[in-house]
Amino acid sequence: MGAHGIYHERQIRELCALHALNNLFQAKETFTKSELDEICVQLSPDEWINPHKSMLGLGQYDVNVIMSALQLRGYEAIWFDKRKDPFCIDTSNILGFIMNVPSEYKFGFIVLPFRRRHWIAIRKVDKLYWNLDSKLNAPEYIGDDAEVINYLSNQFKSNDMELFVIVKTETEKTKQWLKEDAR
């Protein structure tokens, strides 16, 4: 446990999806690399080069792996349409958020011209939201329910970001992750 009693995995290789999932569930080894690798095989069993992860086997898992992993634990990742206002999200009925953002690929001090994506978990711990980006040295304070919605709204404006709302499977079916007037 890190600062404020928050579990925060730091970045290793290209395992940001694994770190985002474990940070979201606030527990080490909620998921393991071997479990995510097995999901990749299940998604594409006959592929010599699996399209759901890095060719080098270092990670870089895609959204299909994250969605399948969440389903194994009774959760769903709902892609949030950026044309909608995030103020329609009912934060009382969600586990948290996973963002996918552009990321520079560096070799030492040199930025390489590859387009990469990075997974980040945002989670409420003790009534306050935290950015649990595995590239951060420590969790970054965001604030309460209203402040996290403002944060997400600002991320939409400044980033080529994709947002996934993480909810229990039954919550997804009933759309209770949306405020009543947005359902």
Domain boundaries, the chain: 9-182
CA 72, CA 19: separation in Å to the nearest integer?
17
CA 149, CA 158: separation in Å to the nearest integer?
14
Assign 50 a pLDDT band (cuts: 50, 70, 90). Answer: low
> What is the DSSP-derived secondary structure letter of residue 179?
-
Instruction: Provide the pLDDT for residue 96.
Output: 97
CB 74 within 8 A of CB 169: yes
- Determine how β-strand 162-168 pairs with β-strand 75-80: antiparallel
For the ranges 46-55, 80-89, 142-151, the lowest mean pLDDT is seen at 46-55
Select the CATH number that applies to the domain covering 9-182 from these four: 2.90.10.10, 1.10.1060.10, 3.40.50.2300, 3.90.70.40. Answer: 3.90.70.40
Instruction: Provide the pLDDT for residue 180.
Output: 82
What residues act catalytically? 16, 118
Does the pLDDT of residue 115 top 80, yes or no?
no
- Average pLDDT over the chain reads 84
Give pTM, 2 decimals.
0.85
Whose tokens are 């949306």? That residue is: 178
Instruction: Provide the pLDDT for residue 80.
Output: 94
Give the residue with greater pLDDT, 118 vs 122. Answer: 122
CB 129 within 8 A of CB 123: yes
Instruction: Provide the pLDDT for residue 4.
Output: 62
CA 139, CA 130: separation in Å to the nearest integer?
6
Give the residue with greater pLDDT, 6 vs 112. Answer: 6
Instruction: Provide the pLDDT for residue 1.
Output: 52
Token pair belonging to 36: 């995510």
Helix (H, G, I), strand (E, B) or coil at 82: coil
Amino acid letter, 28? K
Q: Facing residues of 127 across strands? A: none
User: Residues 86, 141, 119, CA angle at the centre, nearest 5°?
Assistant: 65
Does the pLDDT of residue 108 top 70, yes or no?
no
Helix (H, G, I), strand (E, B) or coil at 180: helix
Does the pLDDT of residue 120 top 80, yes or no?
yes
Q: Which long-range contacts (CB under 8 A, 24 or more apart) does 46-52 make?
A: none
Looking at residues 1-21, what average pLDDT do you find? Answer: 79
Give the residue with greater pLDDT, 24 vs 116. Answer: 24
What interhelical angle do 33-43 and 16-25 show, nearest 10?
110
Looking at residues 116-140, what average pLDDT do you find? Answer: 91
